[in-house]
Structure 1
Amino acid sequence: MTITNALAGVAVDNLATALPWYEQMFGRSADARPMADVAEWKFSTGGWVHVFTDADRAGASSVTLIVDDLAAHVAALEPLGITPVSKRIGDYVKTAIYRDPDGNQLIFTQPLKNTY
């Protein structure tokens, strides 16, 4: 078996309520709406984020997304009123952690130079 891609799922209580936040976070409308209660964003180098209605699991998801310029990403979101709940710098990456309106965790991370 060969895995060729990944789809990260984020459970929300109400997609209609969550959708504007995710559109701001990703800077665009969903790339696909395969069902009424699902929205998906595709990334240019592979992978998808799949946001879907599931009231029982809403708020328990965590997704890590890799960016090439974390500072620029954080700065672009600040005027929209979206700020990280924490920032961290480790030995290999720096991160900004966000929470959506349901409490799901979105972690944006940038590898530090010469670490991978």
Structure 2
Amino acid sequence: MTITNALAGIAVDDIADALDFYERLFGRTADARPMKDVAEWKLAGGGWVQVFTDGDRAGASSLTLVVDDLGEELGRLELQGLKPVSKAIGDFFKTAKFRDGDGNQIIFSQPQPGTY
């Protein structure tokens, strides 16, 4: 078996409420709305992020997005009114953690030079 792509899922309580956050997070409206309660964003590397209504699982999702320049991304997100709940610098990555309105965790991560 060869895996050729991935779709990461984020469960939210109400897609209409979550869309504002995720549109600001990704800097654009969803690339696809395949169903009423689903919104999808295509990533430059080929994967997709799917945000969907699932009240039973809302708030229990975690997503890590790898970026080239964390500082630049944090500046863009701050202009959108989004501020991280925490930041960290480790041997391999610099990270910033965000939470959506349901409590789902979204981490932006930049590899340290020579580690990726």
What's the TM-score, normalizing by structure 2? 0.98
State the shift of 1:78 in Å: 1.0
Structure 2 match to 1:110:
110
The superposition leaves residues 71-110 of structure 1 with CA deviations (integer Å, 9 ceiling, x where unpaired) of 0101111122210000011110000000001000000000
Report how many aligned residue pairs link the two structures: 116
Structure 2 match to 1:76:
76
Q: Which amino acid aligns with 2:78?
A: E
Structure 1 match to 2:61:
61
1:1-116 alignment runs, 5 A limit = 1-116=1-116
Residue 33 of structure 1 aligns to a residue whose secondary structure is strand
Structure 1 residue runs of 4+, over 2 Å off?
none
Stretches of structure 2 that go unaligned for 5 or more consecutive residues are none
Q: Give the RMSD, CA atoms, in angstroms.
A: 0.7
CA distance in 2, matches of 1:110, 1:8: 19
Q: Could you tell me the percent identity over the aligned residues?
A: 67
Stretches of structure 1 that go unaligned for 5 or more consecutive residues are none
What's the TM-score, normalizing by structure 1? 0.98
